[in-house]
C-alpha cells in the first residue's frame, strides 16, 4: 500500500510564505519578458530569447524535482514517473527547433517517443500501484496546480494563440509577433504553474518521507 499523505496541518505562515514566493516568481517572469522586449530586440520571443529559455529552465527544474522525489525520497514512484515523462517530453518539444536543425528533422519526436512509451508501458504494468498512488495525489494541492498548468499551456494557449482569432481582432493591422508573444507568455505561465505543482509535490513528499521515518517498524 503506498504512503498516504500525513494529516499534519499547514500553518498560515508557511502558506503565506509560499504564496509570496510564487507571486514574486510570476512577477519576475513578467518583468523578464518586458526587459526582453525592450533590450533584446534581436532575439526577443525567439528560440534564444528570455521567454523561450525560461520555459526550458522551468521544465528542467520540474524534471529535477521529480527525479529527487522519486529516487531520493522514494515517494509515489509510478505517479512521479508518469509526471516526469510528461514534463520531460514537453522539455524536448521546446527544443524542436534546435534538434531539427542540429540533429535531424523530426528528431524531437523520436526522443519524445523514447521517453513516453517505456514510461507509459511501465505505469500500465504497475497500474494497481499507480491507481493507489493517484488516489492520494489527486487530492493534493499539487495536482490542482498541475491540472491548471496543463490546461493553461496545452489548451488555452493553443486556442488563444490561433492566428484566425488574432486576424479577426487586429484585422488589417495583424502582425504575427503579437500572436506569438501572447501564446508564448501564456505557455510560460502554464509551465510556471507546473513548476509550482512540483514544488508542492516536493514539500508533500518530504512530509511523507519524514512520517515514514518516524513511524514504528
Per-residue model confidence (pLDDT) at position 118: 96
Query: Residue 45 belongs to what domain range?
Result: 12-214
Read off the pLDDT of residues 57-82 as tens digits, 9 standing for 90 and up: 999 999 999 999 999 999 999 999 99
- Looking at the predicted structure, is the pLDDT value of residue 1 above 60? no
Supply 35's cell numbers: 526587459
Buried/exposed code over 170-194 (b: 16+ C-beta within 10 A; e: otherwise) = eeeeeeeeebbbebbbbbbbbbbbb
Q: Domain for residue 121, yes or no?
A: yes
Read off the pLDDT of residues 6-24 as tens digits, 9 standing for 90 and up: 665 667 788 899 999 999 9
Q: Domain for residue 5, yes or no?
A: no
Q: Domain for residue 4, yes or no?
A: no
Which helix (H) or strand (E) segment is 204 a member of? helix 176-214
Helices (H), 11-162: 12-39, 50-68, 77-94, 96-102, 107-125, 127-137, 141-150, 157-160
Number of domains the chain is built from:
1
Read off the pLDDT of residues 135-191 as tens digits, 9 standing for 90 and up: 999 999 999 999 999 999 999 998 998 888 888 888 888 888 888 888 889 999 999
Q: Domain for residue 144, yes or no?
A: yes
Q: Domain for residue 43, yes or no?
A: yes
Which helix (H) or strand (E) segment is 191 a member of? helix 176-214
- Looking at the predicted structure, is the pLDDT value of residue 208 above 70? yes
Q: Domain for residue 3, yes or no?
A: no
Instruction: Say if CB 194 and CB 150 are below 8 A apart.
Output: yes
Amino acid at each position: 500500500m503506498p504512503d498516504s499523505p500525513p494529516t499534519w496541518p499547514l500553518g498560515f505562515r508557511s502558506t503565506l510564505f509560499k504564496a509570496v514566493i510564487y507571486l514574486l516568481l510570476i512577477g519576475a517572469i513578467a518583468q523578464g519578458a518586458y526587459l526582453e522586449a525592450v533590450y533584446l530586440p534581436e532575439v526577443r520571443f525567439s528560440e534564444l530569447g528570455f521567454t523561450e529559455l525560461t520555459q526550458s529552465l522551468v521544465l528542467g527544474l520540474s524534471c529535477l524535482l521529480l527525479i529527487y522525489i522519486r529516487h531520493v525520497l522514494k515517494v509515489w514512484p509510478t505517479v512521479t514517473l508518469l509526471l516526469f515523462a510528461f514534463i520531460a517530453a514537453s522539455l524536448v518539444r521546446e527544443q524542436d527547433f534546435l534538434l531539427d536543425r542540429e540533429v535531424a528533422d523530426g528528431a524531437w519526436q523520436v526522443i519524445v517517443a523514447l521517453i513516453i512509451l517505456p514510461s507509459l508501458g511501465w505505469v500500465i504494468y504497475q497500474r494497481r500501484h499507480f491507481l493507489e498512488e493517484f488516489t492520494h495525489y489527486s487530492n493534493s494541492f499539487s495536482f490542482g496546480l498541475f491540472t491548471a498548468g496543463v490546461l493553461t499551456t496545452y489548451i488555452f494557449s493553443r486556442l488563444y494563440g490561433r492566428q484566425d482569432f488574432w486576424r479577426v481582432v487586429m484585422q488589417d493591422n495583424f502582425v504575427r509577433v503579437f500572436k506569438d508573444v501572447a501564446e508564448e507568455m501564456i505557455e510560460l505561465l502554464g509551465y510556471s504553474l507546473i513548476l509550482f505543482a512540483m514544488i508542492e509535490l516536493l514539500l508533500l513528499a518530504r512530509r511523507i518521507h519524514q512520517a515514514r521515518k518516524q513511524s514504528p517498524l
